[in-house]
Structure 1
Amino acid sequence: MDHGLWTMDFFYLRIMKDLQAVFIIPPKVHLLDIAGPAHLFYEAGDYGVQVRSYFAAIDPKDTRIESSCALHFSDLVDYNSIALRPRDIIFIPGLEAAILLDEKFLRSTAAFGQWLREQHAKGVTICSVCTGAFLLAAAGLLDGRACTTHWKYIDRLQQKYPDLQVRDNCLFVESGSIFTSAGVASGIDLALYMIEQLWGSVLAAQVAREVVVFTRRTAGDPQISIFMQYRNHLENRIHEVQDRLAQGLDQNLNIEEVAGDAHMSARNLTRLFKRTTGITIGQYVDKLRVERAAHMIGEGHTVQATARACGLKSTNQLRFLLKKYEAALPRRLEKMA
Structure 2
Amino acid sequence: MRKIIFVIPPKVHLLDINGPAHIFYEAKEYGADVELQFISLNNKTEIESSAGLYFNQLVTFNQIELQENDVLFIPGFEFSLISNKTFLESIQPFLDWVTTQYHKGVHICSVCTGSFILAETGLLNQKIATTHWKYFDQFSKKFPYVVLAKDRLFTSSKNIHSSAGVSSGIDLSLFLIEQFFGTKFALDIAKEAVVYFRRSTSDPQLSIFLQYRNHLDQRIHNAQDYLMHNLSKAPTAEELANQVHMSKRNLTRLFKKTVGITIGKYLEKLRVEKAISLLSEGNKVDFVAKQIGFKSPNQVRFILKKHQDILPTEISSLDK
**Which bin holds the TM-score, normalised by the shorter protein?**
0.5 to 0.7
**Counterpart for residue 27 of structure 2:** 44
**Counterpart for residue 293 of structure 1:** 309
Change (3 A) 1:110 1:289: farther
Change (3 A) 1:164 1:38: same
Q: State the 1:221 CA deviation.
A: 7.2
Q: Deviation per CA, 1:259-310, whole angstroms, max 9, x where unpaired?
A: 5xxxxxx57x957x93xx88999969x77994x937xxxxxxxxxxxx9968
Q: State the 1:162 CA deviation.
A: 1.6
Distance 2:304 2:33 in 1: 29
**Counterpart for residue 10 of structure 1:** none
Q: State the 1:82 CA deviation.
A: 2.1
Distance 2:305 2:173 in 1: 23
Distance 1:152 1:198 in 2: 31
Q: Does 1:169 align with 2:141?
A: no
Q: Does 1:114 align with 2:96?
A: yes
Distance 1:287 1:85 in 2: 42
Q: Deviation per CA, 1:139-182, whole angstroms, max 9, x where unpaired?
A: 11111211110001111011011211112121011121101110
**Counterpart for residue 243 of structure 2:** none
Distance 1:73 1:81 in 2: 18
Change (3 A) 1:89 1:310: farther
Change (3 A) 1:40 1:146: same
Q: Does 1:22 align with 2:5?
A: yes
- Choose which of 60, 71, 74 in structure 2 pairs with 1:78: 60
Q: Does 1:207 align with 2:204?
A: no
**Counterpart for residue 174 of structure 2:** 192
Q: Name the SS of the counterpart of 2:19 in structure 1.
A: helix
**Counterpart for residue 127 of structure 1:** 109
Tell me the TM-score normalised to structure 2 length.
0.68
Q: Is the 8 A contact 1:293 1:310 kept in 2?
A: no
Q: Is the 8 A contact 1:19 1:51 kept in 2?
A: yes
1:298-309 → structure 2 map (5 Å cutoff): none
**Counterpart for residue 246 of structure 2:** none
Q: State the 1:217 CA deviation.
A: 2.4
Q: State the 1:80 CA deviation.
A: 2.1
Distance 2:18 2:93 in 1: 25
**Counterpart for residue 327 of structure 1:** none
Paired letter, 1:20:
K
Q: Deviation per CA, 1:224-259, whole angstroms, max 9, x where unpaired?
A: xx9xx97xxxxxxx9xx95xx8xxxxxxxx76xx45
1:1-337 → structure 2 map (5 Å cutoff): 18-59=1-42, 61-213=43-195, 214=197, 216-218=213-215, 242=277, 258-259=281-282, 266=283, 270=287, 274=291, 290=307, 293=309, 312=316
Q: State the 1:187 CA deviation.
A: 0.5
Distance 2:258 2:71 in 1: 23
Q: Is the 8 A contact 1:170 1:220 kept in 2?
A: no
Distance 1:35 1:113 in 2: 22
Distance 2:107 2:64 in 1: 15
Distance 1:46 1:19 in 2: 14
- Count how many residue pairs are aligned between Structure 1 and Structure 2: 249
Q: State the 1:51 CA deviation.
A: 0.9
Q: Is the 8 A contact 1:30 1:94 kept in 2?
A: yes
Q: Is the 8 A contact 1:172 1:221 kept in 2?
A: no
With 125-134 and 70-79 compared, the bigger mean Cα shift is at: 70-79
Q: Name the SS of the counterpart of 1:170 in structure 2.
A: coil
Q: Which runs of 5+ in 2 are unaligned?
A: 198-208, 216-256
**Counterpart for residue 254 of structure 2:** none
